[in-house]
Amino acid sequence: MCNNCCCSFHLFTSLTGVGLGVTAFFVFFHLNNIDAGSWALVSAVFAGVVFHLHYIKYCRNLDSYHDVNTLKGIQFLGLMVTTIGVTGTVWYIFNAVYYSIPMLPVNRSAYIAAVWTFMTAKWGLMLLIFGKIYANVIRRENPPLLAVSRMWFFPVGCGSFPSWLRSVFVTSEMDSKGLRSDLIVDSRCR
């Protein structure tokens, strides 16, 4: 699923996001744009979480750090961060247009804060996407020990059950590992 070139690219982009976010935090705080600096730091934090996911996948330790449930939590966090980031982007653009706030000077620019809220939304979306991808990787590489088959329950008087459907449900099926699982149906339906 993830070859070395692809993983290296993901590692590089997320590490770049961390570096740029931390740098922008210091630059915008020095220029007195507190909103843009704060959003840059928040963006760097979530880029760091994405870097963490890619790094442990690259080192092939994903299942020792996370299971499907923790990755679902990361997906939910990504959804919330994306929602907050998009809302912040719309808010800052609305304020800049409505109050005619210019792009310069930097210390009062709402557009720069809108860019960093968008970057935060982007890293939240990456958490959502890669949390889903890596949860599927864990499910595929570590199947559960006990497989529960889906059983069909039919009414007791199976006289109205069509014979062509009966043959589909009464026969045994082979799962992906070649294990046989018989579907048990009332003997009166055969």
pLDDT in tens, 77-86: 999 999 999 9
CA distance 82 to 100: 26
CB atoms closer than 10 angstroms to residue 124: 25
| DSSP code string of 31-89 | TT-HHHHHHHHHHHHHHHHHHHHHHHHHTT-HHHH--HHHHHHHHHHHHHHHHHHHHHH
The predicted structure's pLDDT at residue 165: 52
Contact assessment for residue 19 and residue 100, using Cβ atoms and an 8 Å cutoff:
no
What is the pTM assigned to this prediction? 0.74
pLDDT beyond 80 at 168:
no
pLDDT beyond 70 at 69:
yes
